[in-house]
């Protein structure tokens, strides 16, 4: 499924028809759950009780067939959502079980990789996301997450190349378009960044990620008032699956403007809502301005301890610290 609200609504309607006509058809319930997750995390978080419907539909599928890998994957995605508090460990357990049942469950590979990326397990995320793309090269979710993972690892040229390839296949991939300006911002290509932010806004006008990017753009141009307006929009927007990224970039803008206390509060907020990615913050060139702020150092040390626990439980022993 592509990241398009109209396509997602059509999928919901289709699988509602399927489950009405064949209420005992477990795959229909699993796919309805997946479509509801898309609507509730990317487009309409406060409407239609999407995440409740997603969890309920996934559990119906599992009651009929406990070995339905797609249903375990949909359940995991409902757990790893703003509405359900980004339950990292519970979601990883369900994704892992889905892959034990079906090692080629492509969406489980994609979203287990996504969770790893958000936890800062960048190498593990890369492996899973590349495997997901081998199975389905047009999966815009895996492509966007792989690009995002490269940003966290400061591999901006590689991220640009991956984004360009993916957008050649699907020029209206809203998630990839919303992530793309980061490379231009972090490599001082501010005109490119401004153009890319505008392009992303054509599809998702009130996307918190775009607001965060624009806040950083104006901070780098020393336009503090305009940056503050964008930060306010990022904070006022609906909380989507990707909102924590917008807060990360807004925090970077505040760091650039020498406002460490406000930057730290936003980073704490982002980490508590799905993005405790210690390496992404540690290696962020703009957040480096916070290293002289004692409260930031204390918080970052705590985030490192949490990251080391995830690395111990889910990472590769040979990973660099």
Could you tell me if 31 and 12 are in contact, meaning their C-beta atoms sit under 8 angstroms apart? no
Listed range (58-62, 129-133, 161-165, 214-218) with the worst mean pLDDT: 161-165
Listed range (185-194, 201-210, 249-258, 264-273) with the worst mean pLDDT: 201-210
Q: What is the mean pLDDT of residues 243-266?
A: 98
List, for residues 282-296, the tens digit of each pLDDT value: 999 999 999 999 999
Q: What is the mean pLDDT of residues 144-170?
A: 93
In the predicted model, is pLDDT for residue 320 greater than 70?
A: no
pLDDT tier at 321 (50, 70, 90 boundaries)? low
Q: What is the domain partition of the chain in residue ranges? A: 1-101
CATH class as words, domain 1-101: mainly alpha
**What is the residue-averaged pLDDT of the chain?**
94
pLDDT in the model for residue 183:
96
List, for residues 105-143, the tens digit of each pLDDT value: 999 999 999 999 999 999 999 999 999 999 999 888 899
Strongest mean pLDDT among 138-152, 171-185, 300-314: 300-314
pLDDT in the model for residue 2:
57
List, for residues 200-235, the tens digit of each pLDDT value: 999 889 999 999 999 999 999 999 999 999 999 999
pLDDT in the model for residue 170:
86
pLDDT in the model for residue 48:
76
List, for residues 19-57, the tens digit of each pLDDT value: 999 999 999 999 999 999 989 888 888 777 899 999 999
Per the structure block, which two tokens stand in for 26? Answer: 């477990």
Per the structure block, which two tokens stand in for 124? Answer: 């593990």
Q: What is the mean pLDDT of residues 252-260?
A: 98
In the predicted model, is pLDDT for residue 3 greater than 90?
A: no
List, for residues 180-204, the tens digit of each pLDDT value: 999 999 999 999 999 999 999 998 8
List, for residues 85-109, the tens digit of each pLDDT value: 999 999 999 999 999 999 999 999 9
In the predicted model, is pLDDT for residue 307 greater than 70?
A: yes
Report the 3 state secondary structure along the chain: CCCCHHHHHHHHHHHHHHHHHCCCCHHHHHHHHHHHHHHHHHHCCCCCCHHHHHHHHHHHHHHHCCCCHHHHHHHHHHHCCHHHCCCHHHHHHHHHHHHHHCCCCHHHHHHHHHHHHHHCCHHHHHHHHHHHHHHCCCCHHHHHHHHHHHHHCCCHHHHHHHHHHHHHHCCCCHHHHHHCHHHHHHCCCHHHHHHHHHHHHHHCCCCHHHHHHHHHHHHHCCCHHHHHHHHHHHHHCCCCCCHHHHHHHHHHHHHHCCCHHHHHHHHHHHHHCCCCCHHHHHCCCCHHHHHHCHHHHHHHHHHHHHHHHHHHHHCCCCCCC
């Amino acid at each position: 499924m592509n990241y398009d609200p109209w396509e997602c609504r059509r999928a919901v309607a289709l699988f509602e028809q399927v489950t009405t006509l064949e209420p005992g058809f477990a795959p229909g319930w699993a796919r309805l759950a997946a479509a509801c997750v898309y609507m509730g995390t990317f487009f309409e978080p406060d409407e239609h009780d999407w995440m409740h419907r997603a969890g309920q539909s996934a559990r119906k599928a599992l009651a009929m067939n406990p070995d339905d890998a797609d249903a375990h994957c949909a359940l995991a995605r409902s757990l790893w959502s703003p509405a359900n508090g980004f339950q990292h460990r519970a979601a990883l357990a369900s994704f892992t079980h889905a892959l034990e049942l079906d090692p080629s469950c492509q969406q489980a590979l994609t979203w287990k990789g996504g969770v790893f990326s958000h936890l800062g397990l960048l190498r593990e995320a890369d492996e899973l996301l590349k495997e997901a793309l081998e199975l389905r090269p047009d999966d815009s979710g895996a492509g966007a997450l792989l690009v995002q993972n490269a940003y966290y690892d400061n591999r901006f040229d590689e991220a640009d190349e991956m984004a360009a390839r993916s957008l050649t296949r699907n020029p209206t991939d809203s998630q990839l378009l919303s992530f793309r300006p980061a490379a231009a911002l972090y490599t001082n290509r501010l005109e490119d960044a401004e153009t890319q932010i505008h392009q992303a806004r054509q599809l998702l006008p009130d996307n918190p990620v775009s607001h965060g990017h624009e806040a950083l753009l104006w901070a780098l141009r020393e336009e503090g008032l305009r940056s503050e307006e964008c930060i306010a929009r990022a904070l006022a927007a609906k909380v989507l699956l990707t909102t924590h990224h917008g807060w990360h970039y807004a925090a970077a803008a505040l760091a650039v403007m020498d406002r460490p206390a406000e930057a730290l509060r936003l980073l704490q907020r982002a980490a508590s809502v799905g993005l405790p990615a210690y390496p992404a913050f540690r290696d962020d060139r703009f957040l480096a301005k916070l290293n002289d702020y004692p409260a930031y150092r204390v918080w970052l040390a705590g985030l490192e301890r949490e990251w080391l626990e995830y690395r111990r439980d889910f990472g590769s022993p040979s990973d660099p610290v």
